[in-house]
Amino acid sequence: MPLDKFGIAKRIARELRDGYYVNLGIGIPTLVANYIPEGIDVILQSENGLLGMGPFPVESEVDPDLINAGKQTVTTLKGSSLFSSADSFAMIRGGHVDLTVLGAMEVAENGDIANWKIPGKMVKGMGGAMDLVAATDNIIVAMMQTNPKGESKLLPACTLPITGKGCIDRVVTDLGYYEIKDGAFHLLEIAQGVTVEEIKAKTLGKLVISDNLKVME
């Protein structure tokens, strides 16, 4: 069985290390916060100006002056800090954020990512995505391996306008865990019940099956 979005989030959560400062994008990446392993402390960064993002508030705690980058109401925690957008992106661009998890429409075998624009459709803007992918070395893409039409999102080259060049080195999809290196998607882990044939059929970019291929826990 391929993973659902919760399964993808759970797998990515296992990449968290104690003491990490982490930026989670909107969608599946947000769910990673629900699966932080026991004994690991991570601090969540929200690029609109909050370090130490807490859970959603209960009704009586809702504060319109306290939101996350998805414009949802959130809370602070003991030890949280607040700052401007310039400070926030200084943290990001300056390499102080340890891990970024974000979604994508396409990822290419050279590490290019596209997730902000579909030509001919309404363009909403890139928000902070271009800054995040340009800055951090440690980026994980969380996404379904195919689009709603069933077409592979792991490609030889991005067909959509890119968000960043050669910046992605890890992708977790509903089917597997890939490392991008030497111009190929290296399948390191496969989701339980998924076959290598299915992976091959749904990967248009260059695929290398690891000699140590593991079944995802």
Print burial letters for 129-141: b (CB count within 10 Å at least 16), e (below 16): bbbbbebbebbbb
- Among positions 156-195, residues that touch other proteins (CB under 8 A) are 161-166
Q: How far is the CB of 43 from other proteins (least distance, A)?
A: 16
What residues contact 214, with CB distance under 8 A and at least 6 apart?
188, 189, 190
- Among positions 104-163, residues that touch other proteins (CB under 8 A) are 112, 117, 122-131, 134-135, 161-163
Q: How far is the CB of 105 from other proteins (least distance, A)?
A: 14
- Among positions 79-98, residues that touch other proteins (CB under 8 A) are 82-86, 88-89, 92-93
Q: Is residue 39 exposed (0-12), middle (13-18) or buried (19+ Cβ within 10 Å)? A: exposed
Secondary structure class of 194 (helix, strand, coil):
coil
How far apart, in whole angstroms, are the C-alpha atoms of residue 42 and residue 36? Answer: 8
Q: How far is the CB of 125 from other proteins (least distance, A)?
A: 4
Contact between 57 and other proteins by CB under 8 A: the answer reads: yes
Contact between 78 and other proteins by CB under 8 A: the answer reads: no
Contact between 50 and other proteins by CB under 8 A: the answer reads: yes
Q: Is the CB of residue 146 less than 8 Å from the CB of residue 152? A: yes
Q: How far is the CB of 83 from other proteins (least distance, A)?
A: 7
Instruction: Give the end-to-end CA distance of the chain in Å, rounded to a whole number.
Output: 13
Q: Which residues bind other proteins (CB under 8 A)?
A: 46-50, 55-59, 62-68, 70-74, 76, 82-86, 88-89, 92-93, 112, 117, 122-131, 134-135, 161-166
